[in-house]
Every structure is written in structure tokens, then in C-alpha cells.
Amino acid sequence: MRKEYDFTKSRRNPYARHFKKQVTMRLDGETITYFKKLAHEKGILFHTDAVQSFGKLPIDVKKMDVDLLSVSAHKLNGPKGVGALYIKKGIKKMVPLIHGGHHERSRRAGTENVAGIVGFAKACEIAGNNLEGEAER
């Protein structure tokens, strides 16, 4: 039996790492679903940090049914400083950390790094082509 986690005692938003490099442990969909359910019972959105596993393991946001999922280009040998945040359709309560612009549906200020984004897309393409070999490794 799992010990129940009390999100009301934490000031931080709950999240789970999809893959933890330090101990080479993979959180399965059941574990992520368990913590997501606890967060949703308290009306809290659930974020999944998939930076380590992105490009190495298959990620299906629909199957995982995550609210938020973040990935980073540099883990795929892409450009540093570029990443992506998946936001589940229907989630509208995102408050920007930096105000002043209307980029990304008013979620961020500043000009997009177009060259970095293109580099990230190419790194994703290459990683996608090598996904089976990476998952076995």
C-alpha cells in the first residue's frame, strides 16, 4: 500500500520525473497516474518532467494523460536554452512569469529563438529515428 502524499502541506506544485538518471529509475504510467490523481483531488494541475526521457523512451501524452509536460533540446544534443512545454487542451489558468509580451498566447514575453527552435526540431527528428536503439540502451 502506498503512503498517501498530502499536497496541502507543500508550497510547491506536484510533479514527477518520467525518468530519473541519477538512479536509472523509470516512473511507470501507473505511478504517474497515482500522483496525478492525488493532485487532481485537491484541484491541482500535475506537471511531468520528461527532460531525461525525451528522445530515449516513447512518450505519449494522451496515454499518460498528463496536464503539463516539459522537455529540453540540450538532452538531445540540440541547442541549449530551448525547450517545450506541453499543456493539455482545456487548461487555461497559466500565469506568465515574465509579463510584457503576447508571445505563445500571452504565456511569455520576448522574441522566440527561431534558430534554436529549428535546431530543436531537427534534434527531435534525429532522436525519433533512433528511438528504438535508445530505449534498449
Q: What is the pLDDT of residue 2?
A: 47
Through-space distance between the first and last CA atoms of the chain, rounded to whole angstroms: 32
pLDDT in tens, 65-77: 888 999 999 988 8
Q: What is the pLDDT of residue 21?
A: 44
**80 pLDDT tier (thresholds 50, 70, 90):** very high
Residue ranges and CATH numbers for the domains of the chain are: 7-136 (3.40.640.10)
pLDDT in tens, 96-113: 777 777 766 666 777 788
CA distance 21 to 114: 29
Instruction: Give the mean pLDDT of 119-124.
Output: 93
Cell triple for 122: 531537427
Per DSSP, the three-state class of 39 is helix
Query: How many H helices and E strands in the chain?
Result: 5, 6
Partner residues linked to 25 by β-bridges: 20
Q: What is the mean pLDDT of the chain?
A: 76
Range of weakest confidence among 22-31, 56-65, 83-92, 126-135: 22-31
Judged against a pLDDT cut of 70, whether residue 29 lies above it is answered with: no
**1 pLDDT tier (thresholds 50, 70, 90):** very low
Nearest in space to 85 (alpha carbons), one of 100, 107, 63: 107
Scanning the chain, the segments in alpha helix (DSSP H) are 29-41, 61-64, 103-106, 114-129, 131-136
Instruction: Give the mean pLDDT of 115-133.
Output: 88
CA distance 108 to 102: 7
